[in-house]
């Protein structure tokens, strides 16, 4: 049952005013869907929509600002020193944490988990794209050329998930369903669903050595910036497929280009880059062993409702326990 239905069933919330402040350019008009879903979930609350700084400041001071990490957010927060809570439409908080905001007094939560299914599907599709040589067959189809060849399988191979958060676990479960062995990294070494062996982050290279496919899912923090560099690509298997759906800056792009050009890894599936849009002169465009997508791995027609469902869970948890389900620790960076 969606969390919006759960919210109605569990009764009234203490939430009185919710301000949805998302520029229209960021939501392609779906910001109004967020308002409708929130009104459904919290029928006794006042839900107000704003699309720029002036309309946000003209709205009543909210109990929570449901927003994105847009440029005028710090200006709004300075004008609203009583704002207690920001909930992000996004699953990541790196852009927000880079802003000049009073985190010592602000609660911050994200829509972490909203991408789990769609990104996990993307990762498996990307690995299969390479292993089944679909790129080659698309070219042959365009050329009307019948050229049979052996293709590989992923059953029995090893998937390494670098960062076993919500998305990482979603990938692990799906990889396990394909018959893969799954290993990964996580700061805490407790048992993880779908994962055969969990390693501490400091054992990253040992994990990469074993992998036929590598999925990078860590948040971007000072610790993870440049996490995958020349040394890490050097220990990967020549048959490895590398997938990055985290942030471009988690990977040393020059080192990755060198590894791909020299065929030291089999290929890559890249949805995020150091610079976005990816510049036209990037060497990555010309590699036949790279699949490039324009930061779409997390997109889904039901994104907004899922984001509201995550928010509802945070409201219920905050009211019941004083804790946020997807709260952000500014010192950790996520």
Per residue in 49-77, pLDDT (tens digit) is 999 999 999 999 999 999 999 999 999 99
Nearest to residue 297, comparing CAs of 216, 187, 185? 216
Percentage of the chain exceeding pLDDT 70 = 95
Residue 23 clears pLDDT 80, i.e. is over it: yes
Question: What's the mean pLDDT in 314-326?
Answer: 96
Give 294's Cβ-side CA count (13 Å radius).
4
Nearest to residue 242, comparing CAs of 161, 155, 153? 161
Give tens-digit pLDDT for 158-186: 999 999 999 999 999 999 999 999 999 99
C-alpha pair distances (Å), 301 with each of 2, 12, 175? 15, 28, 24
From the candidates 276, 319, 323, 332, give the one annotated as an active-site residue: 276
Give tens-digit pLDDT for 251-307: 999 999 999 999 999 999 999 999 999 999 999 999 999 999 999 999 999 999 999
Q: Output the pLDDT for position 29.
A: 57
DSSP one-letter string for 307-330: HHHHHHHHHHHHHHHS--TTB--T
Could you give phi then psi for residue 183, rounded to 5 degrees?
-130, 165
The answer to whether 295 is a known catalytic residue is yes
From the candidates 70, 115, 247, 305, give the one annotated as an active-site residue: 247
Q: Output the pLDDT for position 8.
A: 44
Give 185's Cβ-side CA count (13 Å radius).
21
Give tens-digit pLDDT for 209-266: 999 999 999 999 999 999 999 999 999 999 999 999 999 999 999 999 999 999 999 9
Could you give phi then psi for residue 278, rounded to 5 degrees?
-60, 125
Q: Output the pLDDT for position 30.
A: 67
Give tens-digit pLDDT for 73-123: 999 999 999 999 999 999 999 999 999 999 999 999 999 999 999 999 999
Residue 27 clears pLDDT 90, i.e. is over it: no
Look up the pTM and report it. 0.92
> Helices 116-131 & 134-142, crossing angle to 10 degrees?
70
Q: Output the pLDDT for position 284.
A: 98
Is residue 260 reached through a cis peptide bond, with omega within 30 degrees of 0 on the bond before it? no
The answer to whether 174 is a known catalytic residue is no
Q: Output the pLDDT for position 6.
A: 43
In whole numbers, what is the pLDDT of the chain averaged over residues? Answer: 94
Q: What distance in Å separates the CA atoms of residue 201 and residue 204, rounded to the nearest whole number?
A: 5
Q: Which residues contact 278 (CB under 8 A, 6 or more apart)?
A: 284, 285, 292, 294
Please, what are the domains in the chain? Answer: 3-114+300-321 (3.40.50.720), 116-292 (3.40.50.720)
From the candidates 107, 209, 295, 316, give the one annotated as an active-site residue: 295
Q: Output the pLDDT for position 150.
A: 96
Please count the other Cβ atoms lying within 10 Å of the Cβ belonging to residue 333. 17
> Tokens 């893969």 appear where?
180
Could you give phi then psi for residue 177, rounded to 5 degrees?
-65, -25
Residue 10 clears pLDDT 80, i.e. is over it: no
Q: What distance in Å separates the CA atoms of residue 321 and residue 334, rounded to the nearest whole number?
A: 21
Q: Could you tell me if 168 and 152 are in contact, meaning their C-beta atoms sit under 8 angstroms apart?
A: no
Q: Could you tell me if 172 and 190 are in contact, meaning their C-beta atoms sit under 8 angstroms apart?
A: no
Question: What's the mean pLDDT in 308-327?
Answer: 97
Could you give phi then psi for residue 247, rounded to 5 degrees?
-140, 150
Residue 4 clears pLDDT 70, i.e. is over it: no
Give tens-digit pLDDT for 128-148: 999 999 999 999 999 999 999
Q: What distance in Å separates the CA atoms of residue 228 and residue 268, rounded to the nearest whole number?
A: 13
The answer to whether 247 is a known catalytic residue is yes
Q: Which of 22-26, 300-304, 319-323 has the lowest mean pLDDT?
A: 22-26
Longest distance between any two alpha carbons in the chain, whole Å? 67
């Amino acid at each position: 049952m969606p969390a919006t239905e759960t919210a109605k069933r569990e009764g009234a919330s203490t939430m009185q005013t919710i301000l949805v402040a998302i520029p229209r350019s960021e939501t392609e008009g779906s910001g109004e869907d967020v308002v409708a879903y929130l009104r459904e979930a919290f029928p006794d609350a006042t839900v107000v929509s704003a699309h720029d700084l002036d309309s946000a400041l003209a709205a009543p001071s909210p109990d929570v600002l449901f927003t994105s990490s847009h440029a005028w957010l710090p200006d709004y927060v300075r004008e609203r020193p009583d704002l207690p809570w920001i909930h992000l439409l996004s699953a990541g908080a790196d852009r927000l944490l880079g802003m000049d905001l009073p985190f010592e007094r602000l609660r911050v939560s994200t829509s972490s988990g909203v991408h789990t299914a769609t990104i996990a599907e993307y990762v498996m599709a990307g690995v299969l794209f390479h292993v089944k040589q679909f790129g080659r067959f698309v070219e042959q189809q365009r050329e009307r050329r019948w050229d049979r060849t052996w293709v590989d399988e992923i059953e029995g191979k090893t998937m390494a998930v670098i960062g076993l958060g919500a998305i990482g676990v979603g990938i692990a479960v799906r990889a396990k369903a394909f018959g893969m062995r799954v290993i990964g990294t996580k700061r805490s070494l407790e048992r993880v669903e779908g994962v055969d062996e969990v390693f501490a982050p400091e054992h990253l290279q040992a994990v990469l050595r074993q992998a036929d496919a590598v999925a990078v899912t860590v948040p971007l923090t000072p610790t993870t910036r440049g996490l995958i560099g020349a040394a890490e690509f050097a220990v990967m298997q020549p048959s490895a497929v590398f997938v990055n759906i985290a942030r471009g800056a988690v990977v040393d792009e020059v080192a990755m280009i060198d590894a791909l050009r020299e065929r030291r890894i089999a290929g890559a599936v890249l949805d995020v880059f150091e610079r976005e849009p990816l510049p036209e002169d990037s060497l990555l465009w010309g590699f036949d062993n790279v699949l490039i997508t324009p930061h779409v791995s997390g997109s889904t027609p039901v994104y907004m409702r899922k984001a509201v469902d995550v928010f509802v869970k945070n409201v219920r948890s905050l009211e019941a326990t004083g804790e946020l389900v997807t709260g952000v620790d500014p010192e950790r960076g996520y």
